Amino acid sequence: MKQLLRTPRYLLIGLAVMATVGLVAGAGLYLHIGLLTNFPASPTAIATLLLLVMFALMAGVAAAAVYRHHHEVKRVVAAAELLAKGDLADWEPVPYGQDLNQLAQAFQLLQRRLRETTVSRNYLDRVLSSMQDALILVGHDGNIRRVNKAASELLDSRQSELTGRPVTEILVERERAAFPSAGQAQTRGESVFVSRNGEEIPVAYSWSPIEAVDADLSGAIIAARDITERKLADRRIRYLARIDALTKVPNRMQFQHLLQRSLARSRRNRARIALLYIDIDRFKDINDTFGHMAGDAALETLTSRVTKLLPDRAFMGRLAGDEFGVVVYPHGPVDRSNVELNRLARRILREVAEVLIVQGHELYITVSIGIAGFPSDADNVLDLIRNADAALYEAKATGGNRIEFYRPEMNAAAVERLMLKSKLRRSYELDQLLLNYQPKVDVRTGKIAGAEALVRWELSDHGLVLPSQFIPLAEETNLILEIGEWVLNRVCEDYAHWRARGSEPGRISVNLSLKQLAQPNFPRRINRIFRRHGIQPDCLELELTETTLMENPEHTIRVLRELHRMGLRLAIDDFGTGYSSLSALQRFPIATLKIDQSFVSDAASDPDDATMIATMVDMAHRMNMDVVAEGVESEEQLGLLRRLHCDFVQGMLFGEPMSAEAYQALVNAQRDGTDSYRALFA
């Protein structure tokens, strides 16, 4: 352009010089000729002069035209230069000059277009950089074309550092293969970017292809969002979903999952695994007596004590409230590895039994353990758990604080329990339950002071089923409510019958289930029964266990006070087996304390038990309670209890619990002085 412009400038100078030279020459010539010819000049001179002046005028006009043209071109050039610099402001239109005008108009058009695209591009840039998602424009070659501010911040790189690089370079290596590439249809997914300093950034992205006629413009746009927080939250949720919050060991689901994996591995390696099913004995009592904080502390302590003992690769999980599972990998053949398992289980029993101090209370917990092995006892997870559970049930049923290895009969026992439940209901409906009476004898006089009513269930194909076996089943199915009411009715009926025949049966004790006491209208129900049989409430005593009392103490106190007001006596049964202290029982209107037979059975040989009985008797007397010792089987025990000032005794020493008729006969014999008890008290 400059080269071109140089020509008119020289032309202009030339023309201007020519016009000046023409004028000067014309004037000089005129003067010269005029001086020679003494004016006026000759016509030839004048003609020459006119020619020169015309020449000068023409040169001047040409110079002016060239000057103007040159000026317009310069303006167009200046405008073009501004355009090149990116200044898109309007400039004055060129008024004339056909070609130049066209050129100027073309420039103006170009300028407008440029302005439009630039404005919309700037706008687009602003929109893109204001977006929080990272946007990455990828060309059809898979290289990054552009990124927005969020993308450069996310990747901790300047935009210029990112453009031109293959998009796969912003991904961690392991994610590259799965990431979409050119030609891929619209998709979404999660991946992991890597920032300039190597930090991994989990992202959720969408990949949208850009279709363009021009291959150079086609490619895809990636919108990505940092999901680090979400991933962390996910991980936390997954952790919480797998780990028990209190004990920090796998929960049931996770434990089963781990067990499943262990089992699959053992199957492949032909190795063995064993499942120890652990359950805290009478955990409910701990909760009821000391509160849930104590219960939680017991669970935590148990977990930490057990995990400490576990061998390599073994793991523990919490399966439910107070149930835990432990998976171990025993070595060697079954016999040898059972010895090893037994040793571990014993160590667990010992370690758990160590005293635990919670909120100033000394707590002694024991556990029961059921053990089943793969593949000897079960070949899948569910059977393994079920069989270990059956073994645990056996360990509990035989008193707790025990270890049982699974035996096939145990499962049969579980099936039988189910059958028993339905048989029990049938027997109840067919009125096939029986009631026996166990005499309560006054220690000082040897006289029968009353009896305890004990329900009996005889099955034709099974013989006698013990209450310890069927009462828990009845509790599970709520049948206990109906059985309990039946017992009360039967006792009142028998009582009315004995009295009508002139016998003095004394006070009859009836065992009460927690569920009965929890019935909203229990006092009214029992009152109705008394009225129906014409019996005074003080003929009866209701026996409740410690656990029953502590289950819902506020409600229990209210109900017991009401029963007490009605004239009923209340006894606490199996005392010493729970956690309650005698002073805690002071709030309840209790008249009789029954010392559990476990103390009595060893009292004659174990001085500790004797001391315990002495303390219980002493404290009960101070609280105006009578004391009954249960399970008295020998004369030695009777002698000891008499020395310890126990008030009443109950037990096999005076015979098995008996029918209503037998009890009446016994009472009558005593009245007539023909009973055999007297000899024991002589």
Contact 366, 400 (CB under 8 A): yes
Stretch near Mg ion under the rule CB under 5 A, chosen from 157-165, 354-362, 626-634, 667-675: 626-634
Q: Of these, 244, 322, 541, 543, which contacts Mg ion (CB under 5 A)?
A: 543
Stretch near Mg ion under the rule CB under 5 A, chosen from 67-75, 229-237, 535-543, 562-570: 535-543
Stretch near ligand C2E under the rule CB under 6 A, chosen from 122-130, 408-416, 423-431, 461-469: 461-469
Least Å from the CB of residue 616 to ligand C2E: 15
The option from Mg ion, ligand C2E, none interacting with 602 (CB < 5 to 8 A, set by class) reads none
- If one asks whether residue 467 binds ligand C2E (CB under 6 A), the answer comes out as yes
Q: Of these, 9, 187, 466, 636, which contacts ligand C2E (CB under 6 A)?
A: 466
Using CB under 6 A, which residues numbered 547 to 576 contact ligand C2E? 573-574
- If one asks whether residue 484 binds ligand C2E (CB under 6 A), the answer comes out as yes
Q: How far apart are CA 666 and CA 657, in angstroms?
A: 12
| Run of H or E residues at 325 | strand 323-328
| Run of H or E residues at 224 | strand 219-226
Q: Of these, 296, 351, 574, 602, which contacts Mg ion (CB under 5 A)?
A: 574
- If one asks whether residue 97 binds ligand C2E (CB under 6 A), the answer comes out as no
- If one asks whether residue 511 binds Mg ion (CB under 5 A), the answer comes out as yes
State the residue for tokens 């049966």: 505
607 prior amide bond cis, ω within 30:
no
- If one asks whether residue 464 binds ligand C2E (CB under 6 A), the answer comes out as no
- If one asks whether residue 546 binds Mg ion (CB under 5 A), the answer comes out as no
Q: How far apart are CA 556 and CA 542, in angstroms?
A: 13
- The residue (of 493 and 574) whose beta carbon lies closer to ligand C2E is 574
Q: What distance lies between CA 201 and its chain's CA centroid? A: 26
Least Å from the CB of residue 572 to ligand C2E: 11
Stretch near Mg ion under the rule CB under 5 A, chosen from 304-312, 316-324, 572-580, 616-624: 572-580
Burial (CB count within 10 angstroms: exposed 0-12, middle 13-18, buried 19+), residue 474: buried
What is the phi-psi region of residue 651: left when phi exceeds 0, alpha when psi lies from -120 to 50, beta otherwise? Answer: left
- The residue (of 295 and 446) whose beta carbon lies closer to ligand C2E is 446
43 prior amide bond cis, ω within 30:
no
- The residue (of 404 and 543) whose beta carbon lies closer to Mg ion is 543
Least Å from the CB of residue 354 to Mg ion: 29
Q: What distance lies between CA 310 and its chain's CA centroid? A: 25
User: CB-hemisphere CA count at 13 Å for 348?
Assistant: 30
- If one asks whether residue 281 binds Mg ion (CB under 5 A), the answer comes out as no
The two tokens of residue 375 are 């593949």
Using CB under 6 A, which residues numbered 489 to 528 contact ligand C2E? 511-513
The two tokens of residue 241 are 């979903």
Q: How far apart are CA 315 and CA 325, in angstroms?
A: 8
DSSP assignment of 117-157 equals HHHHHHHHHHHHHH-SSEEEEEETTSBEEEE-HHHHHHTTS
Q: Of these, 153, 442, 493, 633, which contacts ligand C2E (CB under 6 A)?
A: 633
The two tokens of residue 533 are 């049989």
- If one asks whether residue 573 binds Mg ion (CB under 5 A), the answer comes out as yes
Least Å from the CB of residue 438 to Mg ion: 9
- The residue (of 373 and 631) whose beta carbon lies closer to ligand C2E is 631
Stretch near Mg ion under the rule CB under 5 A, chosen from 19-27, 64-72, 417-425, 622-630: 622-630
Q: How far apart are CA 243 and CA 235, in angstroms?
A: 12
- If one asks whether residue 450 binds ligand C2E (CB under 6 A), the answer comes out as no
The option from Mg ion, ligand C2E, none interacting with 438 (CB < 5 to 8 A, set by class) reads ligand C2E
Side chain identity at residue 505, one-letter code: P
Stretch near ligand C2E under the rule CB under 6 A, chosen from 84-92, 339-347, 419-427, 649-657: 649-657
The two tokens of residue 216 are 């150079």
Q: How far apart are CA 169 and CA 157, in angstroms?
A: 12
Contact 226, 170 (CB under 8 A): no
- If one asks whether residue 657 binds ligand C2E (CB under 6 A), the answer comes out as yes
Question: What is the tally of helices (H) and strands (E) in the chain?
Answer: 23, 21
- If one asks whether residue 652 binds ligand C2E (CB under 6 A), the answer comes out as yes
| Residue of 374, 255, 244 lying closest to 325 (CA atoms) | 255
Q: How far apart are CA 83 and CA 75, in angstroms?
A: 12
- Residue 287 pairs in a beta bridge with none
Query: Which DSSP letter does residue 535 get?
Result: -
Least Å from the CB of residue 393 to ligand C2E: 18
Q: Of these, 244, 494, 630, 675, which contacts ligand C2E (CB under 6 A)?
A: 630
Q: How far apart are CA 247 and CA 322, in angstroms?
A: 11
Q: Site for ligand C2E (CB under 6 A): how many residues?
A: 24
Using CB under 6 A, which residues numbered 199 to 238 contact ligand C2E? none
Contacts to ligand C2E by CB under 6 A: 438, 454-455, 466-468, 471, 484, 487, 511-513, 543, 573-574, 597, 630-633, 650-652, 657
Contacts to Mg ion by CB under 5 A: 511, 543, 573-574, 630
